[in-house]
Amino acid sequence: MAFLVLSGCLPSWGTSPTSTPLPPTSTAIPVISPTPSAESSATPAVSKPLVIWLPPQFDPENGSRAGNLLKERLTAFAQENQVEIKVRLKAVSGPASLLESLILASAAAPAALPSVVVLSREDLENAALKGVIYPLDGLSTAIDASDWFEYARELALVQGSVYGLPMAGDSLGLVYRTGNLPRAPDSWQEILDQRYTLTFPVQESKSLTTLALYLSAGGDNQDTQRRPLLEEEPLTTVFTWYRNAVERAVIPIWTTQVETYSQAWQAYQDKRTMMVVAWASTYLSDFPPDSLFSPLPSMGDAPASLATGWILAVAEPDPQRRALAARLCEWLTQSDFSGAWSEAVGALPVRPSSFPLWKNQSFVPVFQRMAETARPIPSNDVIAVLGPVLRESTLEVLQLKTLPAPAAQNAVKKVATPGVK
């Protein structure tokens, strides 16, 4: 028999209680491993459970449909591979977050590392560069299959190497009230002409909304040497629209105080605005009956939606068990599971084959178009440079302190010459 041990949601930053370890089963698990060390080969791989770290929203014991689907999936893997699985919930941020716990365990207690961990794209990049997760070279070729959306495939790559398998996606889009707008606006000019009010988190440090519009206007975020880059013409296009939007009261002045997408969403829920830039996961989880979701309109020929997601990565310290950990990653990303689970958890699918398994087929055209056209958020080092500059310049334009062209020129100069004020 096989067993599955699942822990409850943690009320604090501590670790969850564990159960008494189960004795080894008599059937060996067929594990294909890299060259094992003497220490790892002394203990049979089956004698230890696979431990998976998850963010709280993916808790398989929360009683939701998504939780039940994940619990059943983990149980099926445990039974098929005759292995015990333990789940630990870790915070998304803070001193005991998924990433910080990985870093701490890797340095001080490698035996406490999980076999598999689910990381945000931002944390996956940091974990890979810090060497606390393993590339999937030699462990899995699943990412080479054709059944991935391109944005999802790129989420799994760090500097050209595969460091995980995408489990759930998310993308910025536009939520609008159907009582005010019979359909999604086709362009930003239409929003200006019709004076549809819009809000987004202007104070957000990454300035993802402005970056999305800048990229859609044809701007690049890196030069030929992969250094952060802003270009004046497309940025001026965005800032000109911002200026017109403020002058026509399309962007309310209070929007300049909004810091997070949660705050922007709350303002929309309070009916302070007709449209809001929001994450697909927020809409799919909340489901306001008077609203619909659409991709962000483009300011040029390129799509505007920026995507991120959650990726399954291997952190197993025992070389003999990494192949089994990689197999669990593959198991949790197969379309027969991810289709129903992505809808239940409120995520953008990572595979085209997932959409036919959604119960609400009326949503499929919009979210499929978004998944097909979304581009991943740029790397952490690029965001760290561009985000603050775009935030400051956007505030100056929206507060009517600077005209669009000078604001764009100044932003380009700051990125090209770090330290210039």
Residue carrying the six token digits 């005759």: 82
Residues 6+ apart with CB under 8 A from 12: none
Instruction: Please report the pLDDT score of residue 27 as a whole number.
Output: 25
Instruction: Please report the pLDDT score of residue 287 as a whole number.
Output: 81
CB 125 within 8 A of CB 380: yes
Q: Are strands 291-295 and 306-314 parallel, antiparallel or unpaired?
A: unpaired
- C-alpha 292/C-alpha 27 separation (Å) is 52
- C-alpha 69/C-alpha 128 separation (Å) is 29
CA torsion sign for 269, 249, 387, 421 is negative
- C-alpha 197/C-alpha 278 separation (Å) is 14
Buried b (16+ CB within 10 A) or exposed e, 279-305: bbbbbbeeeeeebbbbbbbbbbeebbb
CB 207 within 8 A of CB 201: no
- C-alpha 196/C-alpha 107 separation (Å) is 53
DSSP at 309: E
CB 416 within 8 A of CB 222: no
Whole-model pTM: value is 0.86
Instruction: Please report the pLDDT score of residue 48 as a whole number.
Output: 87
- The phi, psi pair for 195, rounded to 5°, reads 60, 45
CB 328 within 8 A of CB 77: yes
Instruction: Please report the pLDDT score of residue 420 as a whole number.
Output: 59
Q: How far apart are the first and last CA of the chain?
A: 66
Residue carrying the six token digits 């958890």: 345
Q: Which domains does the chain have, with CATH numbers?
A: 4-10+47-163+308-372 (3.40.190.10), 170-305+375-416 (3.40.190.10)
CA angle 48, 88, 139 (to 5 degrees): 55
Token digits of residue 294: 């659409």
- C-alpha 244/C-alpha 269 separation (Å) is 25
Instruction: Please report the pLDDT score of residue 182 as a whole number.
Output: 86
Q: What is the pLDDT along the chain (421 residues), one digit of tens a residue?
A: 344 444 433 333 333 333 333 333 322 223 322 333 333 333 344 568 999 999 999 999 999 999 999 999 999 999 999 999 999 999 999 999 999 999 999 999 999 999 999 999 999 999 999 999 999 999 999 999 999 999 999 999 999 999 999 999 999 999 999 988 989 998 999 999 999 999 999 999 999 999 999 999 999 999 999 999 999 999 999 999 999 999 999 999 999 999 999 999 999 999 999 999 999 999 999 888 899 999 999 999 998 999 999 999 999 999 999 999 999 999 999 999 999 999 999 999 999 999 999 999 999 999 999 999 999 999 999 999 999 999 999 999 999 999 999 999 999 999 998 765 5
Helices (H), ranges, 257-321: 261-269, 280-286
How many CB atoms sit inside 10 A of residue 77's CB? 20
Give rounded-to-5 percent helix, strand, coil for the chain: 45, 15, 40
Instruction: Please report the pLDDT score of residue 198 as a whole number.
Output: 97
Residue 165 one-letter amino acid:
L
Q: Concatenate the DSSP letters of all residues of 359-417 into one string.
A: S-GGGHHHHHHHHHH-EEPPPHHHHHHHHHHHHHHHHHHHTTSS-HHHHHHHHHHHHHS
- C-alpha 396/C-alpha 246 separation (Å) is 12
Smallest Cα–Cα separation from 279: which of 167, 140, 374?
374
- C-alpha 28/C-alpha 26 separation (Å) is 6
- C-alpha 281/C-alpha 267 separation (Å) is 17
CA 403 to chain CA centroid, nearest Å = 34
